[in-house]
Amino acid sequence: MQNILELKNIGYSYHALQGETKALKNISFHVKEGEFVAIVGPSGCGKSTLLSIIAGLLAPEEGTILVNNPDGSLHYPRVGYMLQRDHLLEWRNIYKNVILGLEINHMMTEERLAYVNQLLFDYDLDKFKNKRPSELSGGMKQRAALIRTLALDPQLLLLDEPFSALDYQTRLMVSADICHLIRNTGKTMIIITHDLSEAISLADRIIVLSPRPSTVKKEMEIHLTLLDNSPLAARNAPEFSDYFNQLWEELTSE
């Protein structure tokens, strides 16, 4: 499979009156089509900045981002971005929330709406269409947020610590659930997390960033032997603790 995204020597600094803070330095990596990549690093290392650059919300100060669309076109891949919390708008019902992106992009075509309705049905949310977000559980809200992202048919999904607002137990279930759903769509995903076990259990490859100014410290392929299909299966895999220890070493060594 070919690379959907190639980052070359990306650099970015924040500027303030007190001076310049270098956040990213010489970051280079690539992401293959359909691959799940996790980015881990110490807190404050600029992970979110990197994701904003990939999403096109920030322009890099140095370096280039190369794009290879599967269909050979040259436009930037459509990016779907999932934020730390679901941010469903309380004054809209679930249906109005999931079509927010279509509304903004004036894409309320029959075909799109049918796709959204199909997703609502597939994700067991069709009965909650007319409910307010506050009436849904944390997991259902994350599913609704995923549908809102998928409605625009993104080629690349970016998840910025998407489950960090959930309590631990819900988080285990929801992260496995959401990633399973994304895998079924065959889309490419980049996830940022500070939870090492989450990274190992969800990703095909983990990119470890160093403290600020961040560079890529290590890339690690993950191959787990899954014993069953439960949300905890990845954590029970025999290779899990090895990967965990390796990652821990990488993050704590200077």
Give the residues lining the site for other proteins (CB under 8 A): 55, 57, 79-81, 83-85, 87, 89-91, 93, 100-101, 103-105, 132, 134, 148, 152
Looking at the Cβ atoms of 147 and 234, the one nearer to other proteins is: 147
Q: How far apart are CA 146 and CA 175, in angstroms?
A: 11
Q: How far apart are CA 54 and CA 29, in angstroms?
A: 12
| Helix (H) or strand (E) segment spanning residue 250 | helix 240-252
Strands (E), the chain: 3-16, 19-32, 36-40, 62-67, 79-82, 156-160, 188-192, 205-209, 216-221
> Do residues 149 and 82 make contact, with C-beta atoms less than 8 angstroms apart?
yes
Q: Apex CA 191: angle with CA 107 and CA 169, to 5°?
A: 105
Strand partners, 67: 5
Q: Quick check: helix, strand or coil at residue 37?
A: strand
Six token digits for residue 125: 């949310």
Looking at the Cβ atoms of 78 and 180, the one nearer to other proteins is: 78
Q: Whole-number minimum distance, CB 63 to other proteins, in Å?
A: 22
Q: Whole-number minimum distance, CB 201 to other proteins, in Å?
A: 25
Looking at the Cβ atoms of 84 and 197, the one nearer to other proteins is: 84
Q: Whole-number minimum distance, CB 123 to other proteins, in Å?
A: 19
Looking at the Cβ atoms of 91 and 168, the one nearer to other proteins is: 91
Q: How far is CA 158 from CA 5, 46, 111, in A?
A: 12, 15, 24
Q: Whole-number minimum distance, CB 16 to other proteins, in Å?
A: 16
Q: Whole-number minimum distance, CB 50 to other proteins, in Å?
A: 15
Looking at the Cβ atoms of 85 and 217, the one nearer to other proteins is: 85
Q: Whole-number minimum distance, CB 144 to other proteins, in Å?
A: 13
> Comparing C-alpha atoms, which of 150, 116, 87 is closest to residue 125?
116
